[in-house]
Structure 1
């Protein structure tokens, strides 16, 4: 039996109406393979699919909403919020560690991956992103012929 991770939301949360994706991956670190991302689905469908897959497999399924962000600034704000949340968790863990083991300094080395001189691409205009989302929605709602 695997594990299912998702957000606990109140019944009236507007997030419930967003499209949802499922990311399937190994349950533990002993296996190495690329996660599989499926979706988008309506939330009840995503949960049901994820539950049915992990019921018989040693997998982890993460069911999460797609949060369309149409500008680089919105994406940066989401990244900053995620980083702050991790930093807060790390600080809380460090406080717990120092209370048990005393104060210590992390002496681990940092590795920089992908550092180069390439110029970053300009982010697309929000109207282009919205048009792309509309094209994706059209693809998802247009029947395909085998």
Structure 2
């Protein structure tokens, strides 16, 4: 049996009306593969799909809303907040010292080859351009049903 992770929201939360995605991944440490992201869906559909997929398999499904950010500064703020949270978690883990030192057990084989390219900074799209793009995506999704 798998696991489903999602936000618990009050019934009147406006987040219910956002599009939702599902990220499926391995539940245990024995299985290593890239997570699969599906969506967007309406929240009830996302939850129902996730529950039906993980019901009989050792999978984890994370159901979360798509939270559009309308500027590069908003995205940078989210990245900074995520980094601070990760640093706080690392400090707490180090302070707890319950995991021991397993660095010598890590596999030294290199992973798949990656290519890094340096992109030139381009101007960020305006909030109006992003909203128009979101409207086009919504229109495309709406045309899939017919």
Specify the TM-score bucket, using the shorter chain as the normaliser: 0.7 to 0.9
- Residues 25-40 of structure 1 mapped to structure 2, 5 A cutoff: 25-40=25-40
What runs of 5+ residues in structure 2 fail to find an aligned partner? Answer: 104-113
Residue 144 (structure 1) shift: 5.4
In 2, the alpha carbon distance for the partners of 1:124 and 1:32 equals: 37
- Cα offsets for 1:92-132 (capped at 9, x unmatched): 222222xx79xxxx9xxxxxx86665433433232221111
List per-residue Cα deviations over 1:23-71 (Å, max 9, x = no partner).
Answer: 1112223323222111111111111110010001121111000001121
Instruction: Output the TM-score relative to the length of structure 2.
Output: 0.78
Superposed counterparts of 1:1-146, under 5 Å? 1-97=1-97, 117-143=118-144
Distance 1:118 1:43, change over 3 A: closer
Gaps of 5+ in 1: 107-112
Task: Say if 1:125 and 1:7 are closer, same or farther in 2 by CA, change over 3 A.
Answer: same
